[in-house]
Structure 1
Amino acid sequence: MRILVIEDHADILANVSEYFVLKGCEVTGALDGVTGLHLAMTGSYDAIILDVMLPGMDGNQVCHKLRSVSRRHTPILMLTARDELEDRLTGFRVGADDYIIKPFALSELFARVETVSRRSAGMRKNVLEVHDLSFDLDSLEVRRAGRLLKLNPTTLVLLELLMRKSPAIVKRRELERALWGEEAPDSDSLRTGIYMLRRTIDKAFEVPLLHTVHSMGYKLQAPSDVQLAVDRH
């Protein structure tokens, strides 16, 4: 499992990370809400462990942004030192999947993360997501911010590869192979496809997702400046 842990207490973050790594997980950590939100919006994780009390942006705000702005459905387990019913209800209202009270046993935390991740995987459709862009691989529907977009077969192939690799750079040759195999036409054909894709998924929206990496290729990536994205909403 790939786990994101957003926790401002360095010792707790280190202990959780070490335990989950020993269990075979790949763990990414963040010590504040803004950094955690950026990682959650730009990366792909099987579950997020999210502390409620965070500097800069608290856990409830992070959870709300992930659910309502970027439309991420990654399972979220929230950590809190407060055992009040209203605190837990607030977390569930903004989109948390589970709650655990501090102090907690690492074994219980791991078991709960496994449970919410397994439950989410069973419910999840075959959908790729980057920021507010989604691609349903079964229906071939592409949406951004809830708006249905029309793509032709060429741009659908490009989009699927870019979304699967996001936020990594996809080299030009890899994109050409995906479209035409080993018999790629001239380079203008790929540029035309990228232009059409960019016009469809970016032109009508404030935040661009498709980026050209000079002399290398292209990448699909959520905004690098999360605070700007937060301020806009």
Structure 2
Amino acid sequence: MRLLIIEDNKDLSFELTDYLESQGDIVDTAADGITGLHLAVVNPYEAIVLDLTLPGIDGLELCRRLRQDAGNWVPILMLTARDTLADRIDGFEQGADDYMVKPFSLKELKLRLNALVRRHSGVHQHAMLRVADLELQPDTREVRRGGMPIELTAIEFQILELLMRKSPSVVTRPNLEYAVWGDTPPDGEALRVHIHHLRQAIDKSFTPPLLHTIRGVGYQLKADNALPS
């Protein structure tokens, strides 16, 4: 799994990272709420471990912004010393999927993350994706725009699915390359070529354009004529 840990306690963050990586997970970390929110929005994580007491913005506000402003429903496990029922209710009301109180068992945390990812995959990964009049069905791998079928290669489909899941957020080039090719992406022109073919397929015969290049950053799928394309 690719995970994000947002925790300002350096010792605990290191302990979590060390354990989860020993279990085969890929882990990014953030020590404050603003950095954590940025990483959560631009990267395709499978789950987030989120402390409540953070510098910048706290965990509750981060969770609210991620859910309500970014429309991101990645599973979130809140990890905190706050153990009252009111604290738990606040966490769940802001969009948390699970809640663990410090101190905790690393093994239990890992099992809970596995369960969250399994449930999220069953609920969200197979639902129809829509951006404007563009539709993608993960189960049947069908893509339509304006009701017209669109044929894509496997890599083009994978790129489009990620952009649609993240829409309207910008997905960086490194994150797209990682999602498609893992740690061994081909030369730097490969992604550009696939994006060109994808744009021809979904935008050439339709208006408005949906696939936008954000220069120096990455790509965005959004119905907005004002954005550069």
Do the structures match in fold with TM over 0.5? yes
The aligned residue for residue 164 of structure 1 is 162
The 1-side partners of 2:159 and 2:148 are apart by 15
Q: Residues 103-118 of structure 1: matches in 2 within 5 Å?
A: 103-118=103-118
1:14-49 deviation line (CA, Å, top 9, x unaligned): 100000000000000000111111111111111100
The 2-side partners of 1:18 and 1:199 are apart by 47
Q: In structure 2, do the counterparts of structure 1 residues 105 and 195 end up closer, same or farther at CA, with 3 Å as the change threshold?
A: same
**Identity across the alignment (%):** 36
| Aligned AA (1:54) | L
Q: CA deviation at 1:113?
A: 1.0
Q: In structure 2, do the counterparts of structure 1 residues 136 and 110 end up closer, same or farther at CA, with 3 Å as the change threshold?
A: same
Q: In structure 2, do the counterparts of structure 1 residues 134 and 82 end up closer, same or farther at CA, with 3 Å as the change threshold?
A: farther
Contact 1:79 1:100 in 2 (8 A): yes
Q: CA deviation at 1:137?
A: 3.8
Q: CA deviation at 1:136?
A: 4.7
Q: Size of the alignment, in residue pairs?
A: 195
Q: Residues 16-95 of structure 1: matches in 2 within 5 Å?
A: 16-95=16-95
Contact 2:143 2:149 in 1 (8 A): no
Q: CA deviation at 1:135?
A: 5.1
Q: CA deviation at 1:172?
A: 3.6
| Aligned AA (1:71) | G
The aligned residue for residue 204 of structure 1 is none
Q: In structure 2, do the counterparts of structure 1 residues 124 and 162 end up closer, same or farther at CA, with 3 Å as the change threshold?
A: closer
- RMSD over aligned CA atoms reads 3.8
| Aligned AA (2:159) | L
Q: CA deviation at 1:171?
A: 3.4
Q: Which runs of 5+ in 1 are unaligned?
A: 143-148, 180-189, 202-208, 223-233
Residue 210 (structure 1) aligned with residue 212 (structure 2): yes
Q: Which runs of 4+ in 1 moved over 4 A?
A: 133-136, 138-142, 149-160, 190-198
The 2-side partners of 1:31 and 1:128 are apart by 35
SS of aligned partner of 2:82 = coil
The 2-side partners of 1:57 and 1:134 are apart by 35
Q: In structure 2, do the counterparts of structure 1 residues 93 and 212 end up closer, same or farther at CA, with 3 Å as the change threshold?
A: closer
Q: In structure 2, do the counterparts of structure 1 residues 136 and 152 end up closer, same or farther at CA, with 3 Å as the change threshold?
A: same
Q: In structure 2, do the counterparts of structure 1 residues 196 and 57 end up closer, same or farther at CA, with 3 Å as the change threshold?
A: farther
What is the TM-score normalised by the length of structure 1? 0.67
SS of aligned partner of 1:8 = coil
Q: Which runs of 5+ in 2 are unaligned?
A: 164-170, 178-189, 222-229
What is the TM-score normalised by the length of structure 2? 0.69
Q: In structure 2, do the counterparts of structure 1 residues 192 and 136 end up closer, same or farther at CA, with 3 Å as the change threshold?
A: closer
